[in-house]
């Protein structure tokens, strides 16, 4: 037995029968009591959690710690390795804006670091600290706030003020603070219950922000001249459809405030001139079902990234700012070439595309119409546009990495093609790319589709089927897991693991159609792809059945939860991080923050019997049956607004109740954090070390 389950008795959750009738179906839930009736307030004040639930969750944590106690030394060793790959006094490449450059850096031992600026044209200028996040975190901890995370920080156009959004609960309800840079003093009371997004108007006095409602949804936009002490916040937009979330930003040129609404498949933007902040927001184009668009202003035009008129992989259109109707094609739709994103500059338009699962950057000179491409030669790699503050610049900043190459940051002159390496991420403990090998393979799924897989392993890897494999996947919302450098995974690879990323349907590795082929009534294809990838890796002798550790988080937790039910013998263990596993109940609860916005992704089982049947057929919680399950590690956060704590808690109880074998079902719940776990750069590594120790133990490597 790999894990010694005789060390402690596993908690057995009380069963209280709850019967649910819905669209002609009846189902029974014995663990519904784990959802606190006052859950909205628990998100804001975890201390009020129902004592009965708290006792049970603490028992789960105690059991998990006892079973994993024999890996404590291994956890410490891995944690030391993870820390050794982080440059202690690291910092970002300074970003220019007018007379200054802005950046953040860490001092030795910092968890959160500090934000600063320096004069742009004076290399000898001393830095001005704008925000000492570590000092703020220590102060918050003294005030009984063990969680601390800065989500957003932004300076005013006149460079006199800085605002930042901080989460003190892990529930993603942020406070916005505004500071006078010269004095360091706050100029107004904290703005509470926000979604964390805010923008300044050009007058450097008016602040716009998005507020959360009682169900934690970002649904309201407020405006306030924060220099006027007597002025109250003014509600300027409220989204009445609970299926749409609201965000706010500044346009590429900075000339517009943008209020963006979306529900995963449809979007709508309202505009306010940034130099006329008291104007009412004007809708650019009303939302239409399954039509997405985003605006990028340039000169007297808007360039519009959209899927309108069947442009599945998106195209770029143009419209006059003064008369936005009609839109005209500018860069046409090319099936199979997905436009991921775009930016405009005074003389250039930049777009990030993905073709054949690899990204590339296309730069268009808006004066000549000529285009050129930035791409790289490795078998698998990741590119990212790194937006700056300045619009009138010939310089583009982008990032590059691959599974064996740590992140590099380049400044690229869009007119001349000059490329300057501004930063190569250092691995203080040492890293030699030639010690590792990357492969990009494709496997045939059961329905004939070809699924890309990225593999990284030791350079001298021998395909004899003996190596354990950490198989990672996500497969929802169109999110594509990039082939980027992940220093943490080296702790497994150096111990003989293969790391595999399955680019399954539900993501967009092969274009937007790859996403639509893995959602709603076609969702089973996502799970089939993941299982088929694992089976193929065994057939090709990369690993063997029972040596695969499945790993996924959030919707990726749904993925591994389904795979656990449908192919339990394939896996030697499962790591499900904050897993979305109680799909049928969650998608039937309209009060939860993400439920209405996610009906386009999963279906609405409250009204649609077909959606009910589809979800019921795969929902991990609803398909647990008596069988030999491998070891399972489940993580959760008490204040998580995305995957509420009771989902993984209920799933744990049901799995354990139906476990026919001896392998442990473990739940590790952070009682002081939410979806992202610990926020500090070192504290967050403790969870990674814990998960990797579990993987090594489950694979029989310790």
**Catalytic position from the list 29, 110, 157, 640:** 640
HSE-CB at 102 with a 13 A cutoff on CA atoms is: 17
**DSSP annotation of 505:** B
The label of the residue with tokens 């490449």 reads 93
- Whether 554 is a known active-site residue: answer yes
Residue 638 burial (CB count, 10 A): 25
Query: Two tokens at 611?
Result: 């959606």
Query: Could you give the CA distance from residue 397 to residue 364 in angstroms, rounded to a whole number?
Result: 15
**Catalytic position from the list 554, 582, 588, 622:** 554
**CB-based contacts of 518, cutoff 8 Å, min separation 6:** 475, 476, 504, 505, 506, 507, 525, 526, 529
Query: Could you give the CA distance from residue 201 to residue 250 in angstroms, rounded to a whole number?
Result: 9
For residue 255, count CB atoms less than 10 angstroms from its CB and return exposed for 0-12, middle for 13-18, buried for 19 or more: middle
- Whether 45 is a known active-site residue: answer no
Q: Would you state the torsion angle of the CA atoms of residues 446, 448, 453, 459, taken in this order, to the nearest 10 degrees?
A: 90
The label of the residue with tokens 């790959």 reads 85
Residue 430 burial (CB count, 10 A): 9
Query: Two tokens at 231?
Result: 């002025």
| Residue 60 three-state SS | helix
- Whether 132 is a known active-site residue: answer no
Residue 289 burial (CB count, 10 A): 8
Locate the DSSP E strands across 226-310.
Answer: 234-238, 245-250, 256-262, 267-273, 282-283, 293-298, 301-306
For residue 214, count CB atoms less than 10 angstroms from its CB and return exposed for 0-12, middle for 13-18, buried for 19 or more: exposed
Residue 26 burial (CB count, 10 A): 8
Catalytic site residues?
554, 640, 675
């Amino acid at each position: 037995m790999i894990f010694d389950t005789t060390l402690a008795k596993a908690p057995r959750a009380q069963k209280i029968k709850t019967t649910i009738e819905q669209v002609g179906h009846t189902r029974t839930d014995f663990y519904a009591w784990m959802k606190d009736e006052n859950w909205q307030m628990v998100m804001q004040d975890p201390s009020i959690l129902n004592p009965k639930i708290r006792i049970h969750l603490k028992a789960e944590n105690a059991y998990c710690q006892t079973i994993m106690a024999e890996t404590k030394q291994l956890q410490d060793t891995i944690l030391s390795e993870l820390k050794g790959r982080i440059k202690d006094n690291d910092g970002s490449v300074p970003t220019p804006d007018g007379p200054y450059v802005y950046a953040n850096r860490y001092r030795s031992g910092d968890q959160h670091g500090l934000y600063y600026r320096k004069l742009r044209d004076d290399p000898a200028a001393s830095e001005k600290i704008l925000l000492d996040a570590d000092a703020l975190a220590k102060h918050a901890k003294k005030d009984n706030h063990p969680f601390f995370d800065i989500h957003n920080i932004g300076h005013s156009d006149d460079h006199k003020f800085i605002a930042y959004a901080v989460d003190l609960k892990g529930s993603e309800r942020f406070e916005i603070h505004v500071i006078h840079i010269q004095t360091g003093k706050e100029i107004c009371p904290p703005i509470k219950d926000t979604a964390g997004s805010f923008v300044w108007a050009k007058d450097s006095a008016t602040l716009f922000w998005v507020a959360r409602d009682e169900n934690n949804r970002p649904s309201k936009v407020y405006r306030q001249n924060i220099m006027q002490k007597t002025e109250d916040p003014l509600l300027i937009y409220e989204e009445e459809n609970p299926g749409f979330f609201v965000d706010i930003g500044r346009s590429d040129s900075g000339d517009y405030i943008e209020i963006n609404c979306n529900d995963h498949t449809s979007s709508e933007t309202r505009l306010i001139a940034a130099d006329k902040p008291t104007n009412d927001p004007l809708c650019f184009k009303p939302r239409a079902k399954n039509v997405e668009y985003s605006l990028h202003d340039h000169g007297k035009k808007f360039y519009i990234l959209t899927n309108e008129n069947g442009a599945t992989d998106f195209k770029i259109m143009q419209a006059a700012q003064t008369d936005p109707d009609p839109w005209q094609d500018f860069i046409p739709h090319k099936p199979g070439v997905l436009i991921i994103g775009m930016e405009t500059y005074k003389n250039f338009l930049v777009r990030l595309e993905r073709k054949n699962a690899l990204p590339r950057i296309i730069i268009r000179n808006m004066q000549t119409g000529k285009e050129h491409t930035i791409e790289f030669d490795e078998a698998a790699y990741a590119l990212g546009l790194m937006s700056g503050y300045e619009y009138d610049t010939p310089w583009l900043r982008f990032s590059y990495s691959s599974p064996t190459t740590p992140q590099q940051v380049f400044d690229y002159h869009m007119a001349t093609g000059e490329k300057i390496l501004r930063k190569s991420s250092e691995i203080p403990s040492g890293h030699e790319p030639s010690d590792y090998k990357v492969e990009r393979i494709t496997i045939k799924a059961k329905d004939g589709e070809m699924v890309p897989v990225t593999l990284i392993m030791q350079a001298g890897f021998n395909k004899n089927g003996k190596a354990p494999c950490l198989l990672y996947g996500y497969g929802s919302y169109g999110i594509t897991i990039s082939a980027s450098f992940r220093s943490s995974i080296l702790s497994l690879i150096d111990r003989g693991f293969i790391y595999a990323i399955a680019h399954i349907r539900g993501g967009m590795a092969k274009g937007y159609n790859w996403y639509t082929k893995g959602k709603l009534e076609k969702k089973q294809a996502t799970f089939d792809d993941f299982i088929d990838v694992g089976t193929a890796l065994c057939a090709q002798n990369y690993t063997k059945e029972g040596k695969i550790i499945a790993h996924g988080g959030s919707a990726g937790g749904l993925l591994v939860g389904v795979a656990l039910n449908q192919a339990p013998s394939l896996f030697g263990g499962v790591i499900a991080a904050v897993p979305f596993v109680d799909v049928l109940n969650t998608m039937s609860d309209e009060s939860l923050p993400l439920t209405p916005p996610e009906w386009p992704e999963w279906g609405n089982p409250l009204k649609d019997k077909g959606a009910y049947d589809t979800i019921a057929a795969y929902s991990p919680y609803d398909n647990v049956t008596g069988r030999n399950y491998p070891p399972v590690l489940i993580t959760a956060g008490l204040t998580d607004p995305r995957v509420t704590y009771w989902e993984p808690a209920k799933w744990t109880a049901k799995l354990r109740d139906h476990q026919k074998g001896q392998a442990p079902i473990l739940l590790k719940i952070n009682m002081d954090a939410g979806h992202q776990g610990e926020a500090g750069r070192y504290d967050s590594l403790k969870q990674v070390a814990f998960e990797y120790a579990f993987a090594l133990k489950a694979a029989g490597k310790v």
